[in-house]
Amino acid sequence: MEDTKKRLGRGLSALLGDVPAEGHAAPAADRDPRRLPIDALRPNPANPRRSFHDEPLDELTQSIRERGIMQPLLVRRVEDHFEIIAGERRWRAAQRAGLHEVPVLVRDVSSGEALELAIIENVQRTDLNAIEEAMGYQRLIEEFEHKQDALAKLIGKSRSHVANTLRLLNLPPSIRASVADGSLSAGHARALIGTKNPDAIAEEVIRNGLSVRATEALVSRLNRSEEEQAAKAAKKAKSATVDDANTRALVRRLSSRLGLDVNLAHNTDESGVLTIRYSSLDQLEQVCRMLGEE
C-alpha cells in the first residue's frame, strides 16, 4: 500500500506519460506511446465506470474517425494480453470507428494500482455521472484508505465537493438511478437528502421540470409544513384530555354535591378546565355560598 501511494503521489499525469515525473524518469520505450492491435486489449473487469451511453459514444466514435485517438490508452500486460487501465471508452469507440490499432502507454503496475488509477482517472472526467463519481470516491476511501482531504488534493477537487458527492450515496436506490440516467441532476439529488419522502418529491420535480432552486424551495416548504404539523401534534398530545374511571368518579361526586351539571377536562400535563353549569341565579348563589362567597 505504501509503495502504491508513493507511485500515485507522482500524479496521474506523470503515470500517463503526459509530463515527466521529477526523480522518476521512465525508460523511453515505456514513456513513448506504441500501437497495439485492438483485439490484444481487454477491458478491466473491475472498471468503476458502468455506463457507456450510445449518444456520447457515437460522438466520440465520429471524432476518432475524423481526427484519430488524441490521447493514448493506459494499459498493463496481463498474461497473453493487455488490460486497459484508463481509456475503455476510447477503445470501444475505436472498435466502432473500424480501427485495427490504437496508441497505448504500457505501465508496469499491480492490479491494485491499476484499479486505483482507473478510479482516479474516471472521477476526474466530466462525463461521469455523479453516482458513478460518488461510488469511485467511496471505493478509494474504503479499499485504498484515502482520507477525504488527501483524496480531494489527489483528484484536483475541493473537499466540500468530495463530501457532498459522497452524500448522494445516502439516497434511496431509485433516486440514485434517476441521477445515473440523467432524470435528476446532482443538485436536485442533494436537495432531497434528509427528506422524509424523497421518492414522491423526486416524482414531482421530474413531472414539473423543476429547477434545482425550485426544488430547494419545495423541500424548504415541505420541511416547514412538517415542523408545523409536528408542533401541533405535540401541543395536542400535551393537552389531550384524560378520560379514565377516576376522572369520571370525581365528576359524579362534584355534580352530586353541588346539585349541578359539572364537566371536567383534565389534561395529560395536569392542567384542565372545570365547568359548572347553572340555570338560575339561585343556583349561582348556592355555588357562591359553598365557595365561601357572600
Distances (CA, A) of 178 to 96, 98, 168, 181, 199: 28, 33, 12, 5, 10
**What average pLDDT does the segment 108-116 reach?**
83
Q: Does residue 189 register a pLDDT over 50?
A: yes
What is the identity of the amino acid at 125? R
- pLDDT of the residue at 256: 85
Q: Does residue 90 register a pLDDT over 80?
A: yes
- pLDDT of the residue at 237: 62
Residues 135 and 54 in one domain: yes
| Cβ-contact 43, 84 below 8 angstroms | yes
| Cβ-contact 267, 239 below 8 angstroms | yes
The answer to whether 88 is a known catalytic residue is yes
- Give the domain CATH number at 79: 3.90.1530.10
For residue 234, tell me if it sits in a domain: no
Least confident of 88-92, 142-146, 187-191, 241-245: 241-245
Q: Does residue 144 register a pLDDT over 70?
A: yes
**Residue 55: domain span:** 2-170
For residue 104, tell me if it sits in a domain: yes
Residues 164 and 177 in one domain: no
Q: Does residue 1 register a pLDDT over 50?
A: no
Confidence of residue 105 (pLDDT cuts 50, 70, 90): very high
Residues 81 and 211 in one domain: no
Residues 146 and 280 in one domain: no
* Number of domain units in the chain: 3
pLDDT tens string 274-294: 888 888 888 888 888 887 765
Name the helix (H) or strand (E) containing 189.
helix 186-192
For residue 269, tell me if it sits in a domain: yes
- DSSP conformation class of 45: T
For residue 27, tell me if it sits in a domain: yes
Residues 203 and 86 in one domain: no
| Cβ-contact 75, 35 below 8 angstroms | no
For residue 83, tell me if it sits in a domain: yes
Residues 24 and 151 in one domain: yes
- pLDDT of the residue at 250: 85
| Cβ-contact 52, 89 below 8 angstroms | yes
**What average pLDDT does the segment 127-151 reach?**
86
Q: Does residue 21 register a pLDDT over 70?
A: no
The label of the residue with cell 480531494 reads 152
Residues 286 and 210 in one domain: no
- pLDDT of the residue at 175: 95
Which residue, of 107, 142, 170, is where some domain finishes?
A: 170
Residues 162 and 179 in one domain: no
Q: Which comes out higher in pLDDT, residue 235 or 144? A: 144
What mean pLDDT value characterizes the chain?
81
For residue 190, tell me if it sits in a domain: yes
| Cβ-contact 71, 64 below 8 angstroms | no
Residues 107 and 82 in one domain: yes
Closest CA to 131 of 51, 42, 246, 24: 51
Phi, psi of 35 (to 5 degrees): -110, 135
Which residue, of 155, 170, 185, is where some domain finishes?
A: 170
The neighbour count for residue 189, using CB atoms within 10 Å, is 26
Residues 101 and 53 in one domain: yes
| Cβ-contact 287, 278 below 8 angstroms | yes
Which residue, of 149, 170, 191, is where some domain finishes?
A: 170
Distances (CA, A) of 152 to 147, 162, 187: 8, 6, 19
| Cβ-contact 51, 38 below 8 angstroms | no
Q: Which comes out higher in pLDDT, residue 86 or 4? A: 86
pLDDT tens string 30-72: 567 889 999 999 988 766 666 666 777 888 899 999 999 988 9
From 83, 88, 113, 116, active-site residue: 88
For residue 235, tell me if it sits in a domain: no
pLDDT > 90 fraction of the chain, expressed in percent and rounded:
34
Residues 94 and 24 in one domain: yes
Least confident of 162-166, 223-227, 236-240: 236-240
Residues 220 and 279 in one domain: no
For residue 204, tell me if it sits in a domain: yes
Residues with Cβ within 8 Å of residue 174, at least 6 apart in sequence: 199, 202
